[in-house]
Structure 1
């Protein structure tokens, strides 16, 4: 699963900066940043934060979108609020089958850039949060789906997204070990050289096959993790920069 992320402004801007288009970066900062919740040192998807996504229709200039995909067929705002807590993640194995995701999987794919994500580790009948990130400290490019929903009551348009997940690698198996859940799971992390393929249009069955081949676990040796302060309950410090600082718990060390 991937319900908790860190998304700094620099990580979110990484794709735009890669194109060396400073004018585009300035425009993003001026016109889009005020409508986001950035920076997010920690945020839960259940808070439905507004972030930047790079879509197949606008691959180099991001759009603001809310975490929690709302399919176009949702009938009203009450149904929307019930729906989007169930669509924070989309299981990659079934995105072309599930009614909530199949239209987006075929026609509306996007990339979300984050610094890292959080998962909870179960040990000695207690739960410990871990922060997971690339060893080289570069942003993670997460495969995602997006959807535009028109509120029939107000006419307003809500742009939303869901992070695609896949089977976790052996490194994630050491962390994401909740005995009550099928797992391990992890977000689909796109290697830099494969990012554009995720945004390619789908015209036939071969194109669908090419997208499905991108839905796979990320190499173990490119990730690392460390335990952090509590992300739930009274001990939670909130969206503060120190939330990803390492905390020494009385548990075995997890290494890649």
Structure 2
């Protein structure tokens, strides 16, 4: 977890929300079905200034000689992020935040069919994932991963992991702007921050797009 999410905030809204300077090559949006290896909007701090810029979702350690030289690292486990060789330097030096409208997770029906759920902030505010990033290759391609932790009560009924989500007051600490101690933020969301509903199986295809993907499943049944 997290393996798919939605990101529908326009660049201007993200610039205002995170007080960040935008890059000129941000990925087009909105996207209701963001998949690994896509370019995604990410906020990181450089020289004390926040920037909103694109990164590849799929962290590439410096020893990979190609993007497919090892496992696709889209998540970094909070329990091992500070010690795992792929992530430990980024955890200390290159933390970022990843805006999202919501994210998806799946359960299985008795016949093995994958049944998608959509998770979101019930207040309508965006979710903000804790992330880490890594430059890779001779051109310094920026790549990132979402930090995950053991699931809290809302998530645990569907999946045993959840993305670490940051409250507004915690973002500066995660980005390294407010001193040390960011490790305490790598925990499940408090009760009430995340809600969920079932959505159409259309999102099971990575080619699907559109706002209907996050709509609650109707009484007509799964489609």
TM band (smaller chain) = 0.7 to 0.9
> For 1:148-173, what per-residue CA distance to the aligned partner results, in whole angstroms no more than 9, with x for missing partners?
012xxxx3331100000001111101
Equivalent pair of 1:107/1:202 in contact (CA under 8 Å): no
| 3-state DSSP of counterpart to 1:100 | coil
Q: How does 1:59-138 map to 2 (within 5 A)?
A: 59-74=49-64, 76-77=65-66, 80-83=67-70, 85=72, 87-125=73-111, 126-138=113-125
Matched, 1:142 2:129: yes
Alignment-derived partner of residue 15 in structure 2: 16
Using the TM superposition, give the Cα deviation of residue 81 of structure 1 relative to its aligned residue in structure 2, in angstroms.
Answer: 1.7
Pick from 183, 208, 212: which aligns with 1:238?
208
Number of positions where the alignment pairs a residue of Structure 1 with one of Structure 2: 218
Q: Which of 1 and 2 has greater Rg? A: 1
> Root-mean-square deviation (CA), in Å?
2.5
Pick from 206, 223, 228: which aligns with 2:194?
223
Q: How does 1:135-214 map to 2 (within 5 A)?
A: 135-150=122-137, 155-176=138-159, 184-200=160-176, 207=180, 210-214=181-185
Using the TM superposition, give the Cα deviation of residue 220 of structure 1 relative to its aligned residue in structure 2, in angstroms.
Answer: 2.5
TM-score (normalised: structure 2) = 0.87
- Structure number having the greater strand percentage: 2
Aligned partners of 1:117, 1:65: CA distance in 2, in Å? 18
Question: Which sits farther off after the overlay, 237-246 or 161-170?
Answer: 237-246
- Structure number having the greater helix percentage: 1
Equivalent pair of 2:97/2:129 in contact (CA under 8 Å): yes
Aligned partners of 1:241, 1:113: CA distance in 2, in Å? 17
Alignment-derived partner of residue 30 in structure 2: 39
| 3-state DSSP of counterpart to 1:142 | strand
Equivalent pair of 2:56/2:143 in contact (CA under 8 Å): yes
Aligned partners of 1:238, 1:142: CA distance in 2, in Å? 23
